[in-house]
Structure 1
């Protein structure tokens, strides 16, 4: 059985939706039985594969709803049917419909999730598989929903924090470009026609203004080509790996990235360990969650060391970006048999450090942006005022 997306007429009004059927012909027959006139019936493709960030809100909604429905004792196929189109999760609903179709065919939920790594990355697949084996799928879903909501809150907090400096930078660029392209040539042009000797700062501003007004299109094209070349270069895996390694070592941004990487790793591993996922699989799944190639490679190497017989804490010890406090908590959790709880505690500490690092970065970034904008405005004001002052002295 597969999922089909349809468009149909219902009393001269077009409706859209999803229907489960073995073939497109059977799907059309079901629609006619409902009194609908099918316009188009297309199989739902597995379109959720690339990247999971764009499904963050939808994933959180779906997991929370599935956890609540499973806890209420509903069968899995009904849970998937009811969760296929929650408010605000239409894109993910298509993927969930195909997952339900696989479950109805007899596949395990975790196996059906494999076809949709964008909506359900490896960490979710491993946790659900462990929950199915232990008969604790509802509890695992609650943990995964908590995790998805926490990651969504962190991402939203970062976006909100960056809105002001980014908006300030954008407005400043637009204002400065408008001044240089339209206002400055007219104001300073008056002094040129008067054949007055202009100060060097005014002459430099005029040259910059001419460059923007006469060659602005070419400059924009050059910047576009440069951005495209950089984007193409960043697709090279070796270059991305070197950049990721360097970023982790930077003073302010590096601290932010290290805190984020360790917080995400600790939170992810806590979910997997609490769901009884084997240590090697848990480390590999935690590695897949990270977008930093250095972090990912380090965690994959740690998983190999665990497979060879090392403890998790011993395998993680060579990782330079992992805080020593987190490592001590993991070691203590292993000895006490409370690794999941200790990882949760480590994640909470790192998330607090991440918030502090973000505040420090913003505290440095905002004054720097204001200072930079002030210097540019001062440059333009001096370039306009100096000729006026010179002219007034000559007339006086």
Structure 2
């Protein structure tokens, strides 16, 4: 059985669209005809024809995982649970994704691979946790833990977005107004004065050129930063590692990335241990799920060290891109016999550190932003008021 997406018209002439399961395209058209629908377009979901690659939000994925876990705890296999959940999803795009995952499961793929190929679980930590749950036989439990992990991340990212909204809004408005003034309003105003025979004050045109140059440089820097972000997202592992190495050297951004990667590693490590994964495999998987390409390149070496008798605290102490303080939390867990619990507490500490770093960065940028707006206002005032004063003096005489 495969899932097909159809678009057509009913016997009453009204448009119809949706999903249907059938053995092949001919069977799908026959089933649609029997229900009074003439199919104008029939596409298997796996072909991705006309498929928009929009991502599911963290909260939507968390809700899906919780539903899967509940149905699997009730005794349903993964495929049947997905089929039941698909009918309850309010979003058409989400139903398409679940249908694609369901087809892959029917073809023999694992749940982790099916969700990844359907672009449901695009986060590396999710894929690792779900795959570990399938291997350990505790899939439902790890799905619930993954859902909690995603909800926690969604809360934090919403706080960061709220924190950054006001400075970004002020910056966009300030540069928009400044661009309008320096490239449209002031040049026309100065042109009117020149036609009226008013001699412009010395430095007026120079100040206008300087202001324009500043705006162009800042705009170019923003465009280059966006292009760099897009470029690093499309690079291979080695290219992403080089980009991360560069970002780690930038003040404020480096500590922000380090605390974020460390929190993800500690949380994933804790969840894997609680899900029954052995320490060596859990360590390797959690390093790969940290989001740090520099650390991921060392995951095999760290796991091999633990496998040959080294303590976990020693193996993680010198991982690049990871806060060395995680070694202390591992040492606490090893001493107390509760490594998973210590890592969970450590993850919360690193998450709070990540939030503090984000707040510190915004708090540093806000006065710089106010200063920049003040300089723009000063340049506008100087370039506008000096010609007006010259005009008033000429009229007075």
TM-score, normalised to structure 1, is 0.83
Provide the residue aligned with 1:12 in structure 2: 13
RMSD, matched Cα = 3.7
Report if the CA contact (8 A) 1:6-1:38 is conserved: yes
Deviation at 1:114, TM superposition (A): 5.4
Deviation at 1:22, TM superposition (A): 2.6
Deviation at 1:347, TM superposition (A): 1.0
Give a deviation string over 1:197-226, Cα, whole Å, max 9, x none.
4334312144468999xxx9xx9x999997
Provide the residue aligned with 1:139 in structure 2: 141
| Alignment CA distance shift 1:392-1:97 (3 Å) | closer
**Higher mean Cα deviation, 137-146 or 69-78?**
69-78
Give a deviation string over 1:326-369, Cα, whole Å, max 9, x none.
22112222343322211111111111111111111111111111
Give a deviation string over 1:129-149, Cα, whole Å, max 9, x none.
443454433222110111121
Provide the residue aligned with 1:155 in structure 2: 157
Deviation at 1:177, TM superposition (A): 1.1
Distance in 2, matches of 1:228 and 1:127, equals 31
Provide the residue aligned with 1:25 in structure 2: 26
| Alignment CA distance shift 1:278-1:94 (3 Å) | farther
Deviation at 1:35, TM superposition (A): 3.7
| Alignment CA distance shift 1:107-1:368 (3 Å) | closer
**Counterpart among 170, 183, 186 of residue 184 in structure 1:** 186
Provide the residue aligned with 1:40 in structure 2: 41
Deviation at 1:126, TM superposition (A): 3.9
Instruction: Note if 1:312 corresponds to 2:312.
Output: yes
SS in structure 2 of the partner of residue 322 of structure 1: coil
Distance in 1, matches of 2:192 and 2:201, equals 14
Q: How does 1:299-378 map to 2 (within 5 A)?
A: 299-378=299-378
Report if the CA contact (8 A) 1:67-1:141 is conserved: yes
| Alignment CA distance shift 1:138-1:158 (3 Å) | same
Report if the CA contact (8 A) 2:241-2:293 is conserved: yes
Provide the residue aligned with 1:379 in structure 2: 379
Distance in 2, matches of 1:209 and 1:192, equals 20
Report if the CA contact (8 A) 1:2-1:102 is conserved: no
Distance in 2, matches of 1:336 and 1:236, equals 42
Report if the CA contact (8 A) 2:294-2:320 is conserved: no
Deviation at 1:41, TM superposition (A): 2.0
Deviation at 1:190, TM superposition (A): 4.3
Report if the CA contact (8 A) 1:62-1:86 is conserved: no
Q: Structure 1: which 5+ runs fail to align?
A: none
Distance in 2, matches of 1:342 and 1:285, equals 18
Q: Structure 2: which 5+ runs fail to align?
A: none
SS in structure 2 of the partner of residue 270 of structure 1: helix
**Counterpart among 130, 154, 176 of residue 128 in structure 1:** 130
Provide the residue aligned with 1:265 in structure 2: 265
Report if the CA contact (8 A) 1:205-1:380 is conserved: no
